[in-house]
Amino acid sequence: MHQRYVEDLGIRHAYIKLGTPQLNGKVERSHRSDGQEFYQLLSYKADVDLEIKLSEWERFYNFHRPHGALNGNTPYEALREKL
């Protein structure tokens, strides 16, 4: 499902060699932020609550949270600059 979705968007999905997270630094850093700023602080009662909270986190992370690696811009702002 994921592969078809990204292909429909014209995105080429590249895989890294198994056991080499250092080759995937941006994704690994994102996972670290997710863990530190979302999952560790999370408390929920049902999967529906989790879906809502995850959606809120993704919106905050991509549209409102400044990123040091993006010169203080949000991912959305950085993307708009490239388009």
What's the pLDDT tens digit per position in 20-76?
A: 888 888 888 888 988 888 888 777 666 778 888 889 999 999 999 999 989 999 999
φ/ψ of residue 59, rounded to 5: -65, -45
Domain boundaries, the chain: 1-41, 44-83
Residue 67 gets which letter from DSSP?
Answer: -
pLDDT at res. 71 = 94
- C-alpha pair distances (Å), 60 with each of 15, 32, 53, 64: 27, 16, 10, 5
Residue 74 has a pLDDT of: 96
pLDDT class of 2 with cuts at 50, 70, 90: low
Residues in the chain: 83
Q: Is the pTM of this model over 0.75?
A: no
One-letter amino acid of 64: H
Confidence of residue 1 (pLDDT cuts 50, 70, 90): low
| Amino acid 21: pLDDT | 81
| Measured distance CA(78)–CA(83) in Å, rounded | 9
